[in-house]
Structure 1
Amino acid sequence: MKKAKITAYVDAALFDEIDALAARRRVPKTQIIEAALASFLSPDSAEQSEAAIVRRLDRLTRSLERLERDQEITTEALALFVRFWLTTTPPLPDDTYLAAKAKGKERYGGFVETLARRLGKGTTLMKELPLDLPGSTDPR
């Protein structure tokens, strides 16, 4: 293959790096510069970068779709619970209101402690839910 001569000026520090790499690999500086130029001019590197970005975007999209699904399940479960609670819980008589309020505060404290303990262990409803549904398999 016929070679053409190119004269180019580079920064002295870059020249020293090329010189050191050539000495370490025991190859001519021309070979290192040719490889660097080929890599810079190659459309493959741009296509590889684009493919990597597309793969990452696809992963992010799937992750976002799972988050949206989980959020819909959580919202629907909460809405069903609130609707059920509101339709089945009778109003409190005035003479028991303060006792019920104190009991509610106590129960809420227990709820928060249980929630903190479950989250600390990594146990979540979203992980258990597929196991509770008949015929379901865990997609994760």
Structure 2
Amino acid sequence: MEKLTHRVRGRITEDNWRALKSAASRKGKSRDRLINAALSCYFSFERDDMRDARIILRLDILTRHLHRVHRDTHVLTEMQALLSHYFFTFAPQYGDKDQEVRAAQGVSLLNEYIDELGERMKGGPKSIKKILDKTITVPEEEFFTSEELENFAALSPKDIGDNFG
């Protein structure tokens, strides 16, 4: 056991005082040793490591979410570009008297648009196939290690909330 040599005076709440008195009444415990142990725990790097683990977990979740948002943005951008291309280039111009022909042609153009979008997303650098492969086949470094999972499992929601309030 370490020798306790320095005296510290301070004030604590009534609840902490009762808990300290109760814990110190057990065999082999003293107020001094309990306070010293609490201060040692407070100043240890383990507390910082646990906080950092929680931050890394949240950053990992945010990064994965951002990756999906980035992928979806690419798909929407390609869709908008193709729609604009069809609208300004391929949409035929009809007079008001040709409403039925216009409606039938609109359905046909929509089907062409959907087919072309599928081909473009499948064949280009931002293809849907590559996007899905990245979503399903995740590189090994994006997974948690067994050690990280054990550290996360040891955390309680109370621990997470205490350091981010």
State the TM-score, normalizing by the size of structure 1.
0.56
What percent of counterpart residues are identical? 24
Partner of 1:110: none
> Counterparts of 1:48 and 1:25 in 2: how far apart (Å)?
31
| CA distances 1:1-44 after superposition (whole Å, capped 9, x unpaired) | 32325242323513123224445898433343222101111133
Aligned positions, number: 112
Query: Per the alignment, do residues 68 and 137 of structure 1 end up closer, same or farther by CA in structure 2, a change over 3 Å counting?
Result: closer
Where does structure 1 lack aligned partners over 5 or more consecutive residues? Answer: 108-128
Where does structure 2 lack aligned partners over 5 or more consecutive residues? Answer: 108-121, 123-127, 137-165
> Counterparts of 2:27 and 2:135 in 1: how far apart (Å)?
49
Match of 1:57 among 56, 59, 82: 59
Query: Per the alignment, do residues 89 and 35 of structure 1 end up closer, same or farther by CA in structure 2, a change over 3 Å counting?
Result: same
Query: Per the alignment, do residues 23 and 79 of structure 1 end up closer, same or farther by CA in structure 2, a change over 3 Å counting?
Result: farther
> Counterparts of 2:59 and 2:25 in 1: how far apart (Å)?
41
SS of the aligned residue for 2:39 comes to: helix
Query: Per the alignment, do residues 71 and 33 of structure 1 end up closer, same or farther by CA in structure 2, a change over 3 Å counting?
Result: same
Q: Does 1:4 align with 2:5?
A: yes
> Counterparts of 1:48 and 1:5 in 2: how far apart (Å)?
29
SS of the aligned residue for 2:135 comes to: coil
State the TM-score, normalizing by the size of structure 2.
0.49
